[in-house]
Amino acid sequence: MELEDRLNEVRDRIRKASAAADRAAGEVTLVAVSKTFDAEAIRPAIAAGQRVFGENRVQEAHAKWPQLRAETAGIELHLIGPLQSNKAAEAVALFDVIETVDREKIARAIAAEMVRQDRKVRLYVQVNTGLEPQKAGIAPDDLIAFVAFCRDELGLSIEGLMCIPPADENPGPHFALLAKLARKAGVARLSMGMSGDYETAIAFGATSVRVGSAIFGTR
């Protein structure tokens, strides 16, 4: 199957899952995760009308996206991987959305860079819903205070929450927890669901899904 067919199948399944969950058409944004794929492999997705992409490494994104952006207007780039504060300047310059804010130090670095570069980047907080030691993200119990810190101390508005459920667990309870935390924190958007579980995530209220291998193939 060609990339365009796989992309259309994902789009179709998003539409059907949205309808099944009584969600309005277009309420769920597809973030096409292009990590590990080079510009050549990404161009067919852009040609098929995809504009929102996710990358998990600043360095890798920097190597391919300035050129791809120069070729096509309206690209929106999301950082979905962990961010080190020494990369904050580059991340703020390159990405439109950073989905992985998860500690005070990185929030401070992003806030400072947004002022220095006079550039606004949309922000999500990553939540470690499974409390996995190897995984990035703030603990669910610390989320409300962290969102308040970002808003009140740093003047950052947090647009959404993001999670990656443990690979070996039913994702539903993790998606439900993220939705509950978002309601409590007064945060509007939910980035949850990947190739294996994006329809489930939509049923639990995802406003964006991050789909890689179902579009680009196995990595």
The pairs formed by 181-186 with CB atoms below 8 angstroms and a separation of 24 or more are 181/127, 181/140, 181/143, 181/144, 184/143, 184/144, 185/143, 185/144, 185/147, 185/158, 185/161, 186/147
Give the torsion through C-alpha atoms of 49, 13, 199, 187, to 10 deg.
Answer: 40
Give φ, ψ of 98 to 5 degrees.
-110, 115
Query: CB 71 → ligand PLP: shortest distance, Å?
Result: 24
Closer of 147 and 192 to ligand PLP (Cβ):
192
- Closest by CA position to 164, among listed 203, 199, 132, 204: 132
Query: CB 93 → ligand PLP: shortest distance, Å?
Result: 21
Closer of 64 and 210 to ligand PLP (Cβ):
210
Q: Per rule CB under 6 A, is residue 212 in the interface with ligand PLP?
A: yes
Q: Per rule CB under 6 A, is residue 210 in the interface with ligand PLP?
A: yes
Cβ-based neighbours of 30, under 8 Å, separated by 6 or more: 10, 11, 14, 50, 52, 208, 209, 211
Q: Per rule CB under 6 A, is residue 202 in the interface with ligand PLP?
A: no
Strands 29-33 and 208-211: parallel
Q: Contact with ligand PLP (CB under 6 A): which of 18, 34, 50, 56?
A: 56
Of 23-42, which residues contact ligand PLP (CB under 6 A)?
A: 33, 35
Of 145-184, which residues contact ligand PLP (CB under 6 A)?
A: 164
Query: CB 79 → ligand PLP: shortest distance, Å?
Result: 10
Taking the C-alpha atoms of residue 177 and residue 182, their distance in angstroms, rounded to an integer, is 9
Closer of 22 and 133 to ligand PLP (Cβ):
133
Let me know: does 75 contact 65? Beta carbons within 8 Å.
yes
The stretch near ligand PLP (CB under 6 A) out of 3-11, 63-71, 128-136, 191-199 is 191-199
Closer of 92 and 194 to ligand PLP (Cβ):
194
Please report which helix (H) or strand (E) contains residue 54, including its range.
Answer: strand 52-55
Query: CB 97 → ligand PLP: shortest distance, Å?
Result: 13
Number of shown-chain residues binding ligand PLP (CB under 6 A): 14
Q: Per rule CB under 6 A, is residue 195 in the interface with ligand PLP?
A: yes
Using Cβ positions, the residue closest to ligand PLP within the complex turns out to be: 212
Q: Which residues bind ligand PLP (CB under 6 A)?
A: 33, 35, 56, 80-81, 164, 194-196, 210-214
